[in-house]
Amino acid sequence: MATAETHYTLPLPAFDKPVKLLIVVAPYYKDIADNLVAGARAVGATCGATVDLIEVPGALEVPSAIAMAERLAEYDGYVALGCVIRGETTHYDTVCNDSSRAISLLGLQGACIGNGILTVENRAQAEVRADPAGQNKGGGAAAAALHLVALSRKWAGKTKGIGFRA
**Each residue of 137-161: pLDDT tens digit?**
999 999 999 999 999 999 997 776 6
Catalytic residues: 91
Tell me the pLDDT of the chain (166 aa) as tens digits: 556 788 899 999 999 999 999 999 999 999 999 999 999 999 999 999 999 999 999 999 999 999 999 999 999 999 999 999 999 999 999 999 999 999 999 999 999 999 999 999 999 999 999 999 999 999 999 999 999 999 999 999 777 666 665 5
Spatial distance between the Cα atoms of 101 and 105, rounded to a whole number of angstroms: 6
Which DSSP category does 134 fall into?
T
CB-based contact 59:24 (threshold 8 Å) = no
- Residue 13 exposure: Cα atoms within 13 Å on the Cβ side: 20
For residue 16, the model assigns a pLDDT of 96
Q: What pTM, to 2 d.p., does this model score? A: 0.93
